[in-house]
Amino acid sequence: MKIALGSDHRGFEAKQQIKSIIKQLNHECIDFGTNDINPVDYPDPAYLAATAVSKKEADRAILICSTGLGMSMAANKVKGVRAALCHDELGARISRDHNNANVLCLSSDQTGEVLLRKIVEVWLKTKFSGGRHERRVRKIAAIENGKDPREIKNG
């Protein structure tokens, strides 16, 4: 898989760790910055990485800032992106299994190295289960397209 990666200055160190994890799992990494700890605005790398997913230039993306909240908000504005802020392995697993999340957002301030590795590994390895969850993901897309999700029926 091609994984787009982005962080602001507060997430830079965690991004470097994640880049290593991605490579260890034999995935390709596309780094959209930042490249040091000098202050940057989180929407910039969030937009670049999320857009790569939206345009199918990357299969998924991982974004890191101090809380993960800003990255999540920014990424979810990009059409076709389902960004999930995850703080543990269960959230990471469900975000993929049930919601087919294509962007993982993480908090550098609240996630230590060991947990960070576990979350990233689980998120990258978990597949979307489809089934009844497929309809729900289609409803999310309907909302994104300005439609009432209640109009989406089974099938």
SS (H, E, C) 13-76: HHHHHHHHHHHHCCCEEEECCCCCCCCCCCHHHHHHHHHHHHCCCCCEEEEEECCCHHHHHHHC
> Is 86 considered catalytic here?
no
Q: What are the backbone dihedrals phi and psi of residue 96, each rounded to the nearest 5 degrees, phi first?
A: -90, -50
Pick the catalytic residue from 27, 87, 98, 133: 98
Pick the catalytic residue from 29, 65, 86, 105: 65
The C-alpha R_g of the chain, in whole angstroms, comes to: 15
Q: Distance between alpha carbon 48 and the CA centroid of its chain, in Å?
A: 12
Q: Which residues are catalytic?
A: 65, 98
